[in-house]
Structure formats: structure tokens, C-alpha cells
């Protein structure tokens, strides 16, 4: 007889796939790339995440905010790298 209640990992996989098909595919390229990075973090922290509840609407809003922050951090890191390169060659 099969398992009556899906495991957290099953629910997690279903949730990520739903996010991918319902949200991520509609985002701009930069945010889709940020989602890939965030998914890697989720996979690394799956044990900790399994102890949290999942607020649906709030969770989706926070996800989009996190993706935007990730994109902005990447842009700042790129700009810092450019400035550091200028300082090394221009000084």
C-alpha cells in the first residue's frame, strides 16, 4: 500500500514545478536566472525549509521580491567588478 500523505520532498518538488510553470516562465530573463540560483539555495537548505509552514500568497510575493533582490545584487557585483578593474588599470 502506498503512502497516504506525500512527503515534504514530494510537496517541495511539486511546489517548485508549479512555480516554474505558473510564475517563472512569465518572468524576465534576469529574474528567471535568479530563480535558478534561489532554487539551488533551497536545495542546499531543504532540511531547514522542511520545518517551516508555507503561506501561499505571502510566499509567492516574497519569492518575487527575493528574485528581484538577487538580480539587483548581481548587478551591483558586476558594477563593483568593473570599477575594481578600472582602479587597477587606471591608477
Task: Collapse the DSSP code of 23 into the 3-class scheme (helix H, G, I; strand E, B; otherwise coil) and give the result.
Answer: coil
Q: What is the pLDDT of residue 77?
A: 96
Whether the per-residue pLDDT at 87 is higher than 80: the answer is yes
**More confident: 18 or 53:** 18
The pTM (predicted TM-score) of the whole model is: 0.63
Distance, CA of 4 to CA of 37 (rounded, Å):
32
Rounded to the nearest integer, the mean pLDDT of the chain is 83
Q: Are 35 and 27 in contact (CB under 8 A)?
A: yes
**36-80 pLDDT tens trace:** 988 888 888 888 777 776 555 667 677 877 888 898 999 999 999
Task: Look up residue 9 and give its three cell numbers.
Answer: 520532498
46 Cβ neighbours under 8 A, 6+ residues apart? 9, 12
Distance, CA of 31 to CA of 8 (rounded, Å):
26
Amino acid at each position: 500500500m502506498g503512502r497516504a500523505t506525500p512527503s515534504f520532498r514530494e510537496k517541495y518538488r511539486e511546489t517548485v514545478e508549479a512555480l516554474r510553470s505558473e510564475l517563472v516562465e512569465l518572468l524576465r530573463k534576469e529574474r528567471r536566472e535568479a530563480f535558478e540560483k534561489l532554487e539551488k539555495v533551497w536545495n542546499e537548505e531543504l532540511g531547514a525549509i522542511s520545518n517551516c509552514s508555507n503561506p501561499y500568497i505571502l510566499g509567492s510575493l516574497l519569492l518575487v521580491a527575493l528574485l528581484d533582490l538577487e538580480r539587483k545584487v548581481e548587478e551591483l557585483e558586476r558594477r563593483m567588478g568593473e570599477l575594481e578593474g578600472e582602479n587597477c588599470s587606471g591608477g
